[in-house]
Amino acid sequence: RKEVEQDPGPFNVPEGATVAFNCTYSNSASQSFFWYRQDCRKEPKLLMSVYSSGNEDGRFTAQLNRASQYISLLIRDSKLSDSATYLCVVNVGTGNQFYFGTGTSLTVIP
Amino acid sequence: NAGVTQTPKFQVLKTGQSMTLQCAQDMNHEYMSWYRQDPGMGLRLIHYSVGAGITDQGEVPNGYNVSRSTTEDFPLRLLSAAPSQTSVYFCASSNGRTGGYYGYTFGSGTRLTVV
């Protein structure tokens, strides 16, 4: 079983729509959680960390459910510039092992 | 600050050749790592280092060597290139020994093709 699994996508949504991605992780000892954004042929860039209480950054909301072992990312009022691949990342145990999901592709359509 | 700098950006190797991918960071980060990214596989950890003089294997270390003689530099060596090593390679660094709470800063990647 993979350490981290994501919705396969792709997600194609119109501008202004709300879209949500989910990510499940297998190790209950996981300690830190992140969402990264990766544009085509570019490096991943940190979008936001995910805190136990949930957190929001503008149009983006991240939530963590430890009991069910999943994290989510909600994007409100989608913009064309949100088109990218979103990677779920989980840090396990002592912190030197980060596991990446395979990514979910989002295309925002005019 | 330049952040994490990787060179070269593109490389074509013949099977059996060796080469070194360079990675340097100017943020005084303790933790550095190398990942490869393949379609449908996500990013997989090759090797990592928690400080100068300390390295360890990740998920897919075979065929690769690393060293960390300084805090700034973390080169990745391909010993004898194989077509299976065709991939995009990313170097990443993080503030803090574990990086657990700060996330990574990635370099722009090296696209390697082995023919």
Cβ-based interface (< 8 Å): residues of A facing B: 4, 31-32, 34, 36, 42-46, 49, 87, 89, 91, 94-98, 100-103
**A46: β partners:** A36
Instruction: Specify the higher pLDDT residue, A1 or B106.
Output: B106
Task: List the end-to-end C-alpha distance of chain A, in Å, as a whole number.
Answer: 38
Determine whether the interchain pair A95/B100 forms a contact, defined as Cβ–Cβ distance below 8 Å.
yes
Q: Which residues contact A65 (CB under 8 A, 6 or more apart)?
A: A71, A72
- Alpha-carbon distance of B4 to B23, in angstroms, equals 7
Q: What is the pLDDT of residue A63?
A: 96
The pLDDT tens digits for A32-78 are 899 999 999 999 999 998 988 889 999 999 999 999 999 999 999 99
Determine whether the interchain pair A96/B48 forms a contact, defined as Cβ–Cβ distance below 8 Å.
yes
Q: With contacts defined as CB-CB under 8 Å, which chain B residues touch A43?
A: 90, 106-109
Residues 49-108 of chain B with CB under 8 A from chain A are 50, 56, 58, 90, 97-101, 103-108
What the block records as the tokens of B6 is: 């990787």
Q: Which residue does chain B place closest to A102, by CA atoms?
A: B42
Which amino acid appears at position A87 of this protein? Answer: L
B10 touches chain A (CB under 8 A): no
Q: Which residue does chain A place closest to B105, by CA atoms?
A: A45
The pLDDT tens digits for B58-105 are 889 999 999 999 999 999 999 999 999 999 999 999 876 544 566 789
- Alpha-carbon distance of B43 to B109, in angstroms, equals 12
Mutate to test the interface with B, among A5, A98, A100 (most CBs of B within 10 A): A98
